Amino acid sequence: MVEPLLIAIAAVFFLAGFVKGVIGLGLPTVAMGLLAVSMPPARALAIVIVPAIITNIWQTFVGPYLRDIIRRLWPLMVGTVIGIWCGAGLMTGPYARYGTIVLGVLLVIYAVIGLSKFSFHVAPGHEKWVGGIVGLITGVVSAATGVQVIPSMPFMQAIGMEKDELVQALGVFFTTATVALAFNLTSAGLLTAATALPGAVAMAGAFAGMFIGQAVRSRLEPEAFRRWFLIAMILLGIYLAGSAGYEVMH
């Protein structure tokens, strides 16, 4: 008999993979948000980490911009790794119970920024030092929640990366960040053989969802799908932050 948890994991990652297939991003964000409904963020991240690394490695090498991305984003990536390692105990230590609240708030911020089309510009001469600071903040946030889109993604848009280069840049950046997170999880004893089966189920669901998402991308209006996806992220974020906040207070 198949465990209900494995069925739920397969369904979550199929949906997350479908979203990534249609709009090019969102797999770890969707998966972390949905899994956090029924488990602590640290356990959810232990399941998300391997599918996230593998799908992002694949995304890293689809495109001709790799050398330029590394040249422009190395301060962001180095800062993120340092921030992740400095925040190593945030997801498992005494503040871990606040992780779901922070994750919920981040999902709302991420979705509101996406819906509002809010943007700002970083001049080329300031890319390196701003990227380093953004990386440190992203790393600490990621160490606490497992999500790396805030504030790194607005920064990558602010330095003027075009659509195809941005998609590849997200793959490079998320690969770096998730590998750093994997070290945190391993040292905390969370990435063990017990996560192998859920991780394999997650990976199968994610690739199946991505394959179907890419196949239907041409038939859907990606902007309309993205808008409803972001609205759903707002609702999920409010639910996570509200329910976790209620538990903390009681």
Q: Can you read off the two tokens belonging to residue 125?
A: 């001469």
* Rounded Cα gap, residues 205 and 213, in angstroms: 12
Asked if 142 and 84 touch (Cβ cutoff 8 Å), the reply is: yes
**pLDDT at position 215, please?**
85
* Rounded Cα gap, residues 184 and 181, in angstroms: 5
Confidence grade of residue 12 (pLDDT, cut at 50, 70, 90): very high
For the stretch 24-83, pLDDT in tens is: 777 888 888 888 888 888 888 888 888 888 878 877 877 788 889 999 999 999 999 999
Coil, helix or strand at residue 86:
helix
- As a whole number, mean pLDDT of residues 227-237 equals 86
**pLDDT at position 205, please?**
93
**pLDDT at position 1, please?**
41
**pLDDT at position 2, please?**
55
**pLDDT at position 218, please?**
72
Least confident range of 18-22, 189-193, 242-246: 189-193
Higher local confidence (pLDDT), 118 or 110: 110
For the stretch 161-215, pLDDT in tens is: 877 788 788 889 988 999 999 888 888 777 777 788 888 999 999 999 988 988 8
Asked if 137 and 151 touch (Cβ cutoff 8 Å), the reply is: yes
Q: Does the pLDDT value for residue 233 go beyond 80? A: yes
Enumerate the domain spans of the chain. Answer: 4-249
Asked if 232 and 116 touch (Cβ cutoff 8 Å), the reply is: no
How many other C-beta atoms are found inside a 10 Å radius of the C-beta of residue 49?
Answer: 24
* Rounded Cα gap, residues 85 and 82, in angstroms: 5
Confidence grade of residue 89 (pLDDT, cut at 50, 70, 90): confident
Q: What is the mean pLDDT of the chain?
A: 85
User: What is the value of pTM for the model shown?
Assistant: 0.84
Q: Does the pLDDT value for residue 226 go beyond 70? A: yes
Which parts of 69-215 are beta strand (E)? none
Higher local confidence (pLDDT), 248 or 105: 105
